[in-house]
Chain A
């Protein structure tokens, strides 16, 4: 599909040596898709190899980032005593449906949906804010309803249609809520923003119960920068446009 190809072109490939404007690894790169069924350790080694081949300053910075993660992952993997290339006794096969695609993974049952999305599927748009279900930065949609992915176990969400912020736009065409956030200055640092946007999309789909305000219906998403007025204005516009 054309939009798929566009998404591939805009993600970080590394081999070409170009510095990339996004740090999102391609989630459908030919070689990488083979590794989606293996654990995160093997996937990070692949990316590291690709970066070495590519070179470039941005790539080198990315290399440091992935090296740090790789060593953390190695320590974690050593603690858990999982094998590298094949399923260990402690992991189970879990296929996640995310943004319309299937991702066959091999996961420990303790892996949250948030960590699975970020660390294994490579979709880092959903953020880890509090990791306790209190800030909403991790908000995604499961079957159209918003949830805190940090408190969701990935294994328990096999079969659900998950939508993340990466799944909202159609190629270059932003989702109306995304466009409204830009028009109404609905963010400063941007860290809460994916969660705010997903929560707003979920709110428009679920509806706000009679007697409750939009503020109340967005109470699960906090913004340290205090961009609430812009966020609300964006949602009001999107809601008006929908109605």
Chain B
């Protein structure tokens, strides 16, 4: 790990000022991804601004739903009663991720900003367009079992590793940020980017901007939501494919639906085509299969991950079936 200057911020404004004044400075919250990347010299900030003392640790009701502070730990969000009752997919997604120790350290803001676990990205001996623009992508000709099947480019086929972000995408979350130019809101589906020609840029957050909270709007479909994660191990592994599904069902008819996939793309993948098929349809297997087909319609396999296409199809059907079968307002 390189040496760096360590500063503690006592206010959001101070934190933003500090990072705005040094393009090689980064915010430090839980550190579970940043410190790991620094140990491998993938990221080498010369200054860390410790934001752990900022007052961003509350989960509060708002007129529209719930506001979760950016520094709330993954564990605390997952175990929060209001989250479990009103946004069960979020609780399930968080508990499906990492380990208890990591969940106790990791924060909402950091989880959104965590970087891909592509093993070529994490190994500085390999060319990587995300780490060093223009150096090439080692995954495309290499071992790409855990890589993307949707939305990739010829520059990068990495996937976003977060479970939480997939649930947030299905729940229409909005990210509140503060920067040198003031505060703004970023809808979660605009937060993460596709790789295109600039895979080195993961998100649309500006370098000086600090995530302060995430807003979750209440809805009928949010209350009947769930998260399904498929992985090589029963625990403590990233998703091969995951699905966050949310359904508003009345008398067997789907009034509203949200569907987001993890493990398949550079960002949580909302399938608007699938949601159109679901909306207004009967909540049955035929509908779910049609939605699943729509999700993977444009999927493009890499050399080692073609299995993800059929896996994603089946996972979508399973997730929708599970969510349709449960009562609204309770995490599984």
Which residue among B50, B95, B104 has the maximum number of chain A CB atoms within 10 Å of its CB? B104
Q: A136 in the interface, Cβ–Cβ < 8 Å? A: yes
Q: A109-B48, A211-B332, A220-B236 are in contact. Are A199 and B100 (CB under 8 A)?
A: yes
Chain B residue numbers with a CB within 8 Å of A199 are: 100-101
How big is the B interface, by class? Answer: 20 to 34
With A155-B50, A219-B235 given, is the CB distance from A133 to B3 under 8 Å? Answer: no
Closest to B331 in A: A211
By a CB distance below 8 angstroms, the chain B residues around A216 are: 234-235
Binary B-proximity of A108-142 (CB < 8 A = 1, otherwise 0): 11101000000000000000000111001001001
Interface residues of A, CB < 8 Å — how many? 37
Q: Is A133 within 8 A of B102, CB to CB? A: yes
Q: Is A95 an interface residue when CB atoms closer than 8 A count as contact? A: no
Chain A residues with CB below 8 A from B1, complex form:
110
- B101 and A110 within 8 A (CB): no
Q: In chain A, what residue has the closest Cβ to B332?
A: A211
- Asked whether any CB of chain B lies closer than 8 Å to the CB of A62, the reply is no
Is B79 on the interface with A (CB-CB < 8 A)? yes
Q: Is the CB of A151 within 8 A of B36?
A: yes
Tell me the minimal C-beta distance from B134 to chain A in angstroms. Answer: 28
Q: Contact check, A220 vs B52: say whether CB atoms are below 8 A apart.
A: no
CB-CB nearest in chain B for A80: B3
Q: Which of A216-239 contact B (CB under 8 A)?
A: 216-221
Shortest CB–CB separation between residue B164 and chain A, in angstroms?
15
Interface residues of A in 12-55 (CB under 8 A from B): none
**Is residue A212 within 8 Å, beta carbon to beta carbon, of the partner chain?**
yes
| Interface-side segment among B27-35, B153-161, B213-221 | B27-35
Shortest distance between the CB of A21 and any CB in chain B (Å): 31
B70 within 8 A of partner (CB): no
**Contact pick for A203, options B78, B100, B235, CB 8 Å:** B100
Contact call B105/A206, Cβ cutoff below 8 A: no
Q: Are A152's CB and B105's CB within 8 A?
A: yes
Known: A132-B36, A133-B36, A219-B99. A151 touches B105 (CB 8 A): yes
Given known contacts A146-B100, A148-B32, A156-B52, A219 and B236 CB-to-CB distance under 8 angstroms? yes
Distance of A131 from chain B, by nearest CB (Å): 7
Q: What is the CB-to-nearest-CB distance from B3 to chain A, in angstroms, rounded to a whole number?
A: 6
Contact with A along B217-260 (1 / 0, CB 8 A): 00000000000000000111000000000000000000000000
Given A152-B105, A153-B31, CB of A110 within 8 Å of CB of B36: no
**A 153-199 contacts with B by CB, 8 A:** 153, 155-156, 199
Is A201 on the interface with B (CB-CB < 8 A)? no
7 shortest A-B CB distances, which residue pairs? Answer: A220-B99, A109-B6, A219-B235, A219-B236, A145-B104, A220-B101, A148-B101
9 inter-chain pairs at a CB distance below 8 angstroms, sorted by A residue, are A80-B3, A109-B4, A133-B32, A133-B101, A142-B104, A146-B104, A156-B31, A199-B101, A210-B331
Question: In the complex, given contacts A133-B32, A156-B50, A212-B95, what are 16 additional A-B residue pairs having Cβ atoms less than 8 angstroms apart?
Answer: A80-B3, A109-B3, A110-B1, A139-B101, A145-B104, A147-B101, A148-B32, A148-B99, A151-B102, A152-B31, A153-B6, A202-B100, A209-B95, A218-B100, A220-B100, A220-B101
